[in-house]
Structure 1
């Protein structure tokens, strides 16, 4: 039956970071305007082309990777002037090095009943804006290892 499937709204994506100091406490990232999942980022391949390939290229995938790029508006509480907790946590996380540079992140669309969970690192993005603009905020999250999933609580 034609027309029974519909595209989902991009504004329905939800991203949360786990507060490493309070295991099980997830902080939503507010102010997002763009989310881009790149499931092929950091992929590595090995060329397996040989004379037996009869002139056609062949390869094996040796490494899988993925990134989640987040862009949005720098958000603060009107009363306290504190930055959004999720954004602020990512900013602090982006300063960690070595073993401490990893953190859990989870994301899903509001229509989904499973979170995608990554052990990941983060790279801070640019912030700025012009005279009649709001200040931008961005970060790129890079998956480390295989993704996992978890059910949405109450869902």
Structure 2
């Protein structure tokens, strides 16, 4: 069966942010993305455990695990209303203004071929926006996991 395995398309990944201001559970897809970078070792911390009995060989223990996802693409608006994409707008106008314990927000992501979401309690750093004469305006954010990831079934 290994001969039947194929790589998956990067464009098949879906990223959503939970709107904590909504009365009912509401997940907002983040539109306009054209690249992402998942870093499963972001904020990892190790401690050296070398002792005389290590006989000169390096040894360590991982003391902390972390992860991040950097999202980037194009700033998107509705062509009829000119309103920014709801997922991007929530990140830019709600989440980006929160500090302390309020700076935490759930995010979830998966590939369209998967049957469960990866869910993070996360903090976020907004990315730069810009562009040149013949460019589309860029949009970006970096999301960092807090605690351990959980999963949730994909429901219609």
Q: Which range, TM-score by smaller chain?
A: over 0.9
Counterpart in 2 of 1:13? 13
For residues 104 and 149 of structure 1, the distance between their equivalents in structure 2, rounded to whole angstroms, comes to 12
For residues 45 and 75 of structure 2, the distance between their equivalents in structure 1, rounded to whole angstroms, comes to 34
The TM-score, its normalising length taken from structure 2, stands at 0.96
Q: What is the Cα deviation at residue 99 of structure 1?
A: 1.1
- Which of 133, 136, 141 is the aligned partner of 1:134? 136
Please give the secondary structure, in 1, of the residue aligned with 2:4: coil
Runs (4+) of structure 1 moved beyond 6 Å?
Answer: none
1:67 aligns with 2:68: yes
Question: How many equivalent pairs are there?
Answer: 154
For residues 143 and 24 of structure 1, the distance between their equivalents in structure 2, rounded to whole angstroms, comes to 20
Q: What is the Cα deviation at residue 79 of structure 1?
A: 1.1
Q: What are the superposed Cα offsets for residues 50-100 of structure 1, whole Å, 9 maximum, x if unpaired?
A: 111111110000000000100000000111111000000011201101111
The TM-score, its normalising length taken from structure 1, stands at 0.97
Please give the secondary structure, in 1, of the residue aligned with 2:97: coil
Let me know the Cα RMSD of the aligned residues.
Answer: 0.9
For residues 70 and 81 of structure 1, the distance between their equivalents in structure 2, rounded to whole angstroms, comes to 22
Pairs within 5 Å for 1:2-151: 3-22=3-22, 23-91=24-92, 92-151=94-153
For residues 78 and 91 of structure 2, the distance between their equivalents in structure 1, rounded to whole angstroms, comes to 17
For residues 113 and 36 of structure 1, the distance between their equivalents in structure 2, rounded to whole angstroms, comes to 21
For residues 90 and 146 of structure 1, the distance between their equivalents in structure 2, rounded to whole angstroms, comes to 22
Mean Cα displacement is larger for which, 21-30 or 143-152?
21-30
For residues 146 and 125 of structure 2, the distance between their equivalents in structure 1, rounded to whole angstroms, comes to 13
Please give the secondary structure, in 2, of the residue aligned with 1:112: coil
- Consecutive unaligned residues of structure 2, counting only runs of 5 or more, are none
